[in-house]
Amino acid sequence: MELLEKYSLSQLNTFHIEAKSKYFAEVSTTIDTQEASLFAKRNNLPVLILGGGSNILFTKDFEGIIIKPSKTGINIIDENKKQIFLEVSAGEKWDDVVHYAIERNYFGIENLVAIPGNAGAAPIQNIGAYGVELKDSFFSLKGFNIASEKWVELNKDECDFNYRQSIFKTELKDIFIIDSFILQLSKVPNPKLEYANIKEYFNNLKWESLTAQEIAVVIKKIRESKLPNPKILGNAGSFFKNPIISRDKFNQLKLINTDIPNFIAGINEVKIPAGWLIEKCGFKGKRTGNVGTYEKQSLILVNYGNAMGNEILQFAELIKSKVELKFGIQLEYEVNIK
């Protein structure tokens, strides 16, 4: 294991924020993982496990150790006539995993195409898009628990997945390094086309005839039409979660805001698009200095070139306060703030 000091993070986060980590270690073997973890534990250092840096905002230097899993590989571990099980290493690019599947017409993750970041972050965030979440195809994972100094395997239930949530953001936050996970994909066409834009596009086609790749191509086009390329315009995708509120709260809001969009989120619960709330508060395409909301999607905050992490956070806090004042809804960050 190579241990680096005062390591620049500007190329390791899609906001392109300049910050440094006191220590940095890239780990690609079980021995590397254990050594980096034990170094952190013995020196009582804060730990941050970093993947592709596509869901994080650095507001200051990190006074601990950043551990970046870099082992790659996609392997078939089991299959039958209807299903296939893929073991995915944490260091793989998530979009490469999707393309591996769709090129072989395996169904389950085609709606998650073109999501930036590394595969190891996918279970942490329970990534989701266009009516599909990672948990829908997730089987199990293995990783290293820094606190117990043990390698552990967890099944889907033990990962406690929820909307953009998992045990790795609560009980196991910053103490669990994901090494690899297993996806359970379908060889039988099983597309999820309920999302409005997708359903409209494929409305006149028989879904049984669609390939995973055909669906992914359409979804990628939809994403690219709405989302900025982080290589060109610094961003971390959706900055806020779509809030889930009670049916009673929604009914109260609808009396005043008759056009409020909504989706059923559970028994007596409704999900409201955060982007709609933000736009209704006057933030559509709004820019303050080097920070602003993306003109095509207000849910995304962008760095126009030279913003500091604190500038972006202050802008996000302003949005939160305005939304709460107007709608009585507290937005939650989807991005990890450090």
State residue 51 phi and psi, 5-degree precision: -100, -110
3-state secondary structure of 296: coil
Instruction: Please identify which of the residues 26, 92, 110, 334 carries the catalytic annotation.
Output: 334
In this structure, what token pair is assigned to residue 51? Answer: 């993947």
* Residue 216 identity: A
Is 194 one of the annotated active-site residues of the chain?
no
Classify residue 175 as exposed, middle or buried by CB count within 10 Å of its CB (0-12, 13-18, 19+).
middle
Is 153 one of the annotated active-site residues of the chain?
no
Instruction: Please identify which of the residues 164, 166, 180, 298 carries the catalytic annotation.
Output: 164
Contacts 24+ apart (CB under 8 A), 131-138: 131/192, 131/193, 131/194, 131/195, 131/198, 132/108, 132/192, 133/161, 133/163, 134/109, 134/161, 135/159, 135/161, 136/108, 137/108, 137/109, 137/183, 137/184, 137/185, 138/181, 138/182, 138/183, 138/184
Is 334 one of the annotated active-site residues of the chain?
yes
Instruction: Please identify which of the residues 89, 137, 140, 238 carries the catalytic annotation.
Output: 238
Contact 75, 105 (CB under 8 A): no
3-state secondary structure of 110: helix
**CA–CA distance, 203 with 213 (Å, rounded to integer):** 17
- Which active-site residues does the annotation give? 164, 238, 334
